[in-house]
Chains A and B, each alone.
Chain A
Amino acid sequence: MKAIKIKGLVKEFDGIKAVDDISLEIEYGEIFALLGPNGAGKTTTISILATLLKPTKGEAKVNGYDVITQASKVRHSIGIVFQDPSLDDRLTARENLDIHGRLYHMKKEERRKRIEEVLKMVELQDRADSIVKTFSGGMRRRLEIARGLLHKPRILFLDEPTLGLDPQTRRRIWNYIERLREEGVTVLLTTHYMEEADYLADRVAIIDNGRIVALGSPSELKDSIGGDIIKIKCGDANKMVDILSSNGFNAMIVDGEIMIKAKKAEKEIPRIFMLAKDIEIKSIMYKKPSLEDVFIHYTGKAYREEAGDEMEAIKRGWRMRR
């Protein structure tokens, strides 16, 4: 059995396909990321899996239960942290958790114990009895993660868990998510931050316009677009290229530097040093392709993170007003 199994999922809003024939399988214990720009269909997919939206076509199973016919069982199996804040900010942290525990039918003793556990996990024990209104954005996020985990779900959905948080807070949230791996929780997260998917996910599905354009582990995806680039500065460049070429390297001189395309640079670099022998190597560097390069490779368009999108939106707004 898979933690999540999606087959031919389609969701239309007024004839527009927000999710367009997505199929996907996620294993138990995996941290899986749906990566894509705003409006790619990530949140819609999660909403369907969380039984908040009904799919137009296709089927989805979460923890072995069908999201349409066994919605209640699905809901018991999952925890979710929404993109938009969903805490009651007039309640204390503990009260928010307590109400959650009740909504998920946890017994009193179990609830009390587990609340302490999750508060400790996100380091909010000291603020347990403070009203949420006084919390910072990062603290609220942490509390929401704690709440999502309270009823010990096998699968946790995180919809843009670090959206709008400063880099330091983002790091901290990443640490908590990484720790979930040890607890054996399956995590499905959506993000439009490349480094987030790269850093956290075992596997990534890159989504664009409601379709999966690439799927694999971050390194597989990066390898799939043709490997790394190695750049060398050395004494006798021509001689070096000759040596490299005769040893099966794809090497050429660009602006006095030697450029080598390699499948795995870290494997090739020691060989290059061996071959160089008496040629002096002044510097050597290599660049791994990023997930951004992967996105560009598969969609043929540049990738804009939030800031870019916002600027676009503002510009569009201006144009429309005129």
Chain B
Amino acid sequence: MIGDIYAVYLRELIRLWRQKVRLVTTIMMPLLWLGVIGNAFNNAFSIPFGKDFLSFLTPGILVMTMVFTSTISGITTVFDREFGFLKEMLVAPIKRESILIGKMLGGVTQAILQGVIIIALAILMGVNFKGVEAIPGMILTMFLVSVAFVSFGLAVASKMTSMEGFQMVMNFLIQPMIFLSGAFYPTKMLPSWLKVGVKLNPLTYGVDAMRYFAIGMNEFNVVMDIIVMIVLSIAFILLGGYLFRKS
């Protein structure tokens, strides 16, 4: 079982390595957010946040990057189906779960790698992280968010037969979740009717946990944040696993 997962994972790693340019190009968007928006509002908004805006924004951008990268890498199983490699794995004497977990770990690895690059760049830009003790918590949060959204991507991919559905998922599900998560602003700045959306949005708690571990700022209980993320991950793994097996 472990060997099977590793075989599937190894292929994902080789592919990741071959496409390392993509790691850099997909980092452009978060970089623009930090470099342009972050710096632009840095001075204007520094007081109401208790921290500088750039430091406040960075954990949100990290979560955003996790969500985008993970969802997309989950959805790439569609390509496998189109280009036939999935068949090669399906006919091998291994369990479906091994394929699923191997692919999932591949997506998570890619997302966390990007996260690490962003953290490094953020430090260069002068973001004040808590210090070394911030690292384990940040990695944990990145891992949970990534696992949840790779699984989500797999679930979507299992139901999707063309790449057109992809845009819809991104625009109608992923984008609203990110905008309502407090990634870019403190949620208390919103009118109360929008706050309902924020509270119902599981990603809110991911951003909150990340911000707590990174710069020591939080709106909710961190233990609750983590529990919400774990529940979300498990729910999406089960959903993704179910739909993937069925397809």
Give per-residue flags for A28-52: 1 if the beta carbon is below 8 A from chain B beta carbons, else 0: 0000000000000000000000111
The CA of A23 and the CA of B242, in the complex, are separated in Å by 34
The CA of A51 and the CA of B96, in the complex, are separated in Å by 13
Q: Is B190 interfacial (CB-CB < 8 Å)? A: no
Q: Is B124 interfacial (CB-CB < 8 Å)? A: no
Find A75's partner among B11, B84, B85, B91 (CB 8 Å cutoff). B91
Q: Are B7 and A86 in touch, CB under 8 angstroms?
A: no
**Chain A CB within 10 A, most for which of B6, B10, B93:** B93
Q: Are B93 and A76 in touch, CB under 8 angstroms?
A: yes
Q: Are A103 and B15 in touch, CB under 8 angstroms?
A: no
Q: Is B25 interfacial (CB-CB < 8 Å)? A: no
Q: Is A57 interfacial (CB-CB < 8 Å)? A: no
Residues of B within 8 A of A72 (CB): 93
Residues of A within 8 A of B88 (CB): 82, 86-87, 100, 103, 147
The CA of A147 and the CA of B88, in the complex, are separated in Å by 10
Given A82-B84, A102-B7, A105-B3: A91 and B92 interface contact (C-beta under 8 Å): no
Q: Are A88 and B3 in touch, CB under 8 angstroms?
A: no
The CA of A94 and the CA of B11, in the complex, are separated in Å by 12
Total contacting residues, chain A, CB less than 8 A? 27
Q: Are B92 and A75 in touch, CB under 8 angstroms?
A: yes
The CA of A208 and the CA of B11, in the complex, are separated in Å by 40
Q: Is A85 interfacial (CB-CB < 8 Å)? A: yes
Q: Are B84 and A84 in touch, CB under 8 angstroms?
A: yes
Q: How far is the CB of B87 from chain A (nearest CB, A)?
A: 5
Give per-residue flags for B12-46: 1 if the beta carbon is below 8 A from chain A beta carbons, else 0: 00110011000000000000000000000000000
Q: Is A228 interfacial (CB-CB < 8 Å)? A: no
The CA of A183 and the CA of B4, in the complex, are separated in Å by 28
The CA of A80 and the CA of B83, in the complex, are separated in Å by 16
Given A51-B91, A85-B83, A105-B93: A90 and B3 interface contact (C-beta under 8 Å): no
Residues of A within 8 A of B15 (CB): 88, 90-91
Q: How far is the CB of B89 from chain A (nearest CB, A)?
A: 7
Residues of A within 8 A of B87 (CB): 52, 82, 84, 86
Q: Are A91 and B91 in touch, CB under 8 angstroms?
A: no
Residue of A nearest to B16 (CB): A90
Residue of B nearest to A71 (CB): B93
Find B85's partner among A78, A86, A95 (CB 8 Å cutoff). A86
Q: How far is the CB of B90 from chain A (nearest CB, A)?
A: 6
Q: Are A91 and B14 in touch, CB under 8 angstroms?
A: yes
Give the contacts of A61-103 with B (CB-CB under 8 A). 72-73, 75-76, 78, 80, 82, 84-91, 95, 99-100, 102-103
Q: Is A273 interfacial (CB-CB < 8 Å)? A: no
Residues of B within 8 A of A86 (CB): 83-85, 87-88
Q: Is B238 interfacial (CB-CB < 8 Å)? A: no
Q: How far is the CB of B85 from chain A (nearest CB, A)?
A: 5
Given A102-B3, A102-B10, A103-B7: A90 and B91 interface contact (C-beta under 8 Å): no
Give per-residue flags for B88-132: 1 if the beta carbon is below 8 A from chain A beta carbons, else 0: 111111100000000000000000000000000000000000000
Chain B residues touching A, range: 20 to 34
Q: Are A88 and B85 in touch, CB under 8 angstroms?
A: yes
Q: Is A104 interfacial (CB-CB < 8 Å)? A: yes
Given A90-B18, A95-B14: A103 and B83 interface contact (C-beta under 8 Å): no
Q: Are B94 and A103 in touch, CB under 8 angstroms?
A: yes
Q: How far is the CB of A132 from chain B (nearest CB, A)?
A: 11
Residues of A within 8 A of B14 (CB): 90-91, 95
Q: How far is the CB of A252 from chain B (nearest CB, A)?
A: 56
The CA of A293 and the CA of B94, in the complex, are separated in Å by 44
Residue of B nearest to A79 (CB): B91
Residues of B within 8 A of A147 (CB): 88
Residue of B nearest to A83 (CB): B84
The CA of A85 and the CA of B8, in the complex, are separated in Å by 18
Residues of B within 8 A of A131 (CB): 18
The CA of A100 and the CA of B93, in the complex, are separated in Å by 11
Residue of B nearest to A144 (CB): B88
Q: Are B84 and A103 in touch, CB under 8 angstroms?
A: no
Residue of B nearest to A86 (CB): B84
Q: How far is the CB of A140 from chain B (nearest CB, A)?
A: 11
Residue of A nearest to B99 (CB): A103
Q: How far is the CB of A15 from chain B (nearest CB, A)?
A: 21
Q: Are A99 and B11 in touch, CB under 8 angstroms?
A: yes
Q: How far is the CB of A267 from chain B (nearest CB, A)?
A: 47
Residues of A within 8 A of B85 (CB): 86-88
Q: How far is the CB of A93 from chain B (nearest CB, A)?
A: 13
Residues of A within 8 A of B92 (CB): 75, 100, 103-104
Residue of A nearest to B85 (CB): A88
A selection of 10 A-B contacts at a CB cut-off of 8 Å is A72-B93, A73-B93, A75-B92, A86-B84, A86-B85, A87-B85, A89-B83, A91-B15, A99-B10, A103-B8
Residues on A facing B (Cβ under 8 Å)? 50-52, 72-73, 75-76, 78, 80, 82, 84-91, 95, 99-100, 102-105, 131, 147
Please give 19 more A-B residue pairs, beta carbons under 8 A apart, in addition to A86-B83, A100-B92, A103-B89: A51-B91, A73-B93, A75-B91, A78-B91, A82-B87, A84-B87, A88-B15, A88-B83, A90-B19, A91-B14, A91-B15, A91-B18, A95-B11, A102-B4, A102-B7, A103-B4, A103-B94, A104-B93, A147-B88
